[in-house]
């Protein structure tokens, strides 16, 4: 375990075990969500998706405390099952020590969450959004673990500009550490690399700049970059490997909020290139990906217990020199909230195209251009 992550985890664990709650307040929170989904025409996420699947659940528990006025400690454990991805394996989402010197400057060390786009930091906050899934065209659904956090540090702050305007920023650096059995590794294993036995990277750097304007307007730019990504695996008798020099993810975001209505639009671009090797026979081939996508969405809170969501999404994908075409989607969802911490949701997707979401690996008889998906989910937090 990297040093900063180990120190943050040990500090919080020691505090929780040894402290008198009367002296050091400790807050424990968590959530659990269960869902069902079904696809038509194409299979997605799990082999029986066209018959309906309950392999969609997630749960987490977090502990935070403020042992000193400006110091906050936090840790979260998370587990999910999303079809063939993750399969309930628990993971350390974050473990940090946070020192807030001023409104304009705070620092965190350990395993720290990173902001990309408007919604990446809220990927687990299911009860706070109307839809079940974050927009597929921007946020990677299956490889959540790779883009979630870094083992390192970040600086952040809030700067008033006068009137109704302000600026928020985050800058971070560290290492993207992922499990060889997690969603990212499973995605690589299914693409070409077989059983993954090594998955490392050298460095991850990035940042976010967010402007809060008048009349509920906001603009955000996000940048994420990982260098030296190394993959090692075994596919039958063949040793596989890939070395990615640069892996980029950039997102431009626009939001507007007026009363019970929220509008959002985001554009994302992902790019990487490198070399893959298969031994025997010792073949080296170039690998790379260019993917961009975006969406426009609207959310309406009809009242305290009922919300509606609609979006148009579009994405296109090219892997090495092969064009996977474009995908367009119409998305509709609504959420019922019997209590503030309990939600019941339905989401419907009408899609045209595949763009890497569905593959011939799951659909050996061929892919359909037009397909759809429905999902139900209930989540409670505490």
Summarised one tens digit per residue, pLDDT across range 176-216 is 988 888 888 898 888 888 899 999 999 999 999 999 999 99
Say what the pLDDT of residue 126 is: 82
| Nearest Cα residue to 193 out of 147, 226, 143, 239 | 239
What is the percent of the chain with per-residue pLDDT over 70, rounded to a whole number? 94
Flag the least confident range among 44-48, 49-53, 140-144, 333-337: 140-144
Distance CA 309, CA 313 (A): 13
pLDDT digits (tens, 9 = 90+) for 56-66: 999 999 999 99
Residue-wise pLDDT tens digits, 169-178? 999 999 998 8
pLDDT in tens, 248-284: 999 999 999 999 999 999 999 999 999 999 999 889 9
pLDDT at 23: 63
CA dist 27 and 17 (Å) reads: 13
**pLDDT of the residue at 20:** 52
pLDDT score for 253: 98
Q: Looking at residue 1, what is its pLDDT? A: 43
- Asked if pLDDT for residue 14 goes beyond 60, the answer is no
What pLDDT does residue 4 have? 46
The phi and psi torsions of 263 (rounded to 5 degrees) equal -115, 145
From CA 298, how far away is CA 312, in angstroms rounded? 10
What does the pLDDT look like over 26-57, one tens digit per residue? 999 999 999 999 999 999 999 999 999 999 99
CA dihedral for 191, 322, 147, 264, sign (positive or negative): negative
**Phi and psi (nearest 5°) for 143?**
-115, 45
pTM above 0.85, yes or no: yes
- Structural domains of the chain, ranges and CATH numbers in brackets: 3-381 (2.40.160.10)
**Is the pLDDT at 8 greater than 50, yes or no?**
no
Using DSSP bridges, classify how beta strands 283-303 and 306-319 pair: parallel, antiparallel or unpaired. Answer: antiparallel
**How confident is the model over 284-320, as pLDDT tens digits?**
999 999 999 999 999 999 999 999 999 999 999 998 8
Under 8 Å between Cβ of 2 and 177: yes
- Residue 18, pLDDT score: 46
């Amino acid at each position: 375990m990297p040093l900063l992550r180990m120190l943050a985890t040990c500090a919080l664990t020691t505090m929780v075990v040894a402290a008198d709650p009367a002296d050091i307040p400790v807050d424990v929170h968590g959530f659990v969500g269960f869902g069902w989904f079904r696809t038509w025409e194409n299979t997605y996420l799990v082999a029986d998706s066209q018959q309906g699947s309950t392999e969609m659940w997630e749960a987490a528990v977090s502990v935070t405390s403020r042992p000193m006025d400006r110091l906050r400690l936090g840790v979260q454990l998370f587990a999910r099952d999303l079809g063939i991805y993750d399969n309930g394996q628990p993971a350390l989402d974050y473990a940090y020590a946070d020192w807030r010197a001023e409104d304009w400057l705070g620092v965190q060390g350990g395993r720290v969450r990173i902001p990309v786009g408007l919604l990446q930091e809220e990927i687990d906050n299911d009860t706070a959004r109307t839809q079940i899934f974050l927009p597929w065209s921007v946020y990677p659904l299956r490889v959540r673990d790779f883009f979630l956090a870094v083992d390192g540090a970040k600086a952040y702050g809030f700067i008033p500009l006068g009137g109704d305007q302000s600026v928020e920023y985050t800058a971070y650096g560290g290492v993207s550490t992922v499990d060889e059995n997690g969603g990212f590794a499973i995605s690589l294993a299914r693409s070409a690399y077989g059983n993954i036995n090594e998955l490392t990277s050298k460095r991850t750097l990035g940042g976010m700049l967010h402007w809060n304007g008048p009349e509920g307007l906001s603009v955000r730019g996000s940048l994420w970059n990982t260098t030296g990504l190394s993959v090692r695996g075994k596919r039958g008798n063949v040793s596989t490997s890939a070395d990615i020099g640069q892996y980029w993810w950039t997102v431009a975001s626009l939001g507007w909020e007026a009363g019970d209505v929220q509008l959002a639009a985001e554009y994302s671009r992902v790019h990487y290139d490198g070399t893959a090797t298969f031994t025997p026979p010792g073949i080296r081939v170039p690998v790379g990906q260019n993917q961009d996508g975006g969406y426009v969405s609207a959310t309406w809170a009809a009242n305290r217990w009922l919300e509606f969501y609609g979006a148009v999404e579009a994405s296109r994908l090219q892997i090495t020199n092969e064009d996977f075409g474009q995908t367009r989607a119409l998305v509709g969802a609504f959420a019922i909230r019997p209590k503030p911490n309990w939600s019941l949701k339905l989401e419907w997707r009408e899609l045209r195209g595949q763009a890497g979401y569905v593959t011939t690996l799951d659909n050996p008889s061929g892919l359909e251009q037009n397909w759809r998906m429905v999902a139900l989910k209930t989540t409670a937090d505490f």
